[in-house]
A and B are shown apart, each in its own frame.
Chain A
């Protein structure tokens, strides 16, 4: 958990820069951001998305749109996880106007692992611990300004986290 403090410090500087840019273009940015935040305020638990088995269906149920890879998302996950039951995974991003962040473990029985709603003023960064049934791609999704971006990393699991 201490490792994730490092990126936060640099991120803060980047964010401050981003904040200034946002201020300059304030008039437009605020108008565009409003409907996005309204959507993010839908606090209902996305039960249907969590029930989907595969990646495509889970993303469709959660966001209903396509995603594109972004190098502005930094996904921190171990190369090898000795214990699939507790895999520390963290994400930071420099993308602006982030409204949600989600983690998908492609090979799990249900692909979607966790989804976080971010409101204005909350830093678009999350660290959590997930279960992984076996070696799998971990896909991080970031919804930013109404678009969906992703980053993918493979984590090798030596002992699966789903028991049984």
Chain B
């Protein structure tokens, strides 16, 4: 299965600019399906970015983050070719990770 995570990490001067798009339903638990039954909550709770064993960015998310979440941030201290490990854990214990190369 293709990864749920898409990352674009580009070095711009001394900053690595990281854009991430994740495929995830981010169900709030408040929405009913066609049969009128509640769709149980299912959302990413934590998204972590690790560069050289250091967590450079940690996102804690609730149900109000949009479906197929997008997040963008930037950090210093990276070089071209460095690895950036991205991983998430959701409210049902699901998880995925991806290692991106900084371009």
Contacts and interface: CB of A to CB of B under 8 A. Distances in A.
A interacts with B: yes
Interface of A: 1, 4, 8, 12, 43, 45-47, 50, 85-87, 90, 105, 108-110, 112-119, 121-123, 125-132, 161-164
Given A1-B72, A125-B73, A127-B72, A114 B64 contact: yes
Given A43-B48, A109-B28, A123-B76, 10 more contacts: A8-B15, A12-B15, A50-B62, A122-B74, A123-B15, A125-B74, A128-B65, A129-B69, A130-B65, A131-B64
Size band of the interface chain B makes with A: 35 or more
A6 to B, nearest CB: 13
Contact of A110 (B55, B64, B75): B64
A89 to B, nearest CB: 10
B55 A126 contact: no
Given A122-B75, A128-B72, A45 B60 contact: yes
Nearest to A52: B62
Contacts of B60: 45-46, 50, 114-117
A119 B76 CA distance: 10
B69 to A, nearest CB: 7
Contacts of B15: 8, 12, 123
A45 B65 contact: no
Contacts of A128: 59, 65, 69-72
Given A131-B66, A161-B66, A164-B31, A116 B58 contact: yes
25 contacts: A1-B19, A8-B17, A12-B15, A43-B55, A86-B66, A105-B64, A114-B59, A114-B62, A115-B59, A116-B58, A117-B57, A117-B60, A118-B57, A121-B77, A122-B56, A122-B73, A123-B76, A126-B72, A127-B72, A128-B70, A130-B65, A131-B28, A131-B64, A161-B66, A163-B32
B94 interface: no
A45 B77 contact: no
A162 B70 CA distance: 18
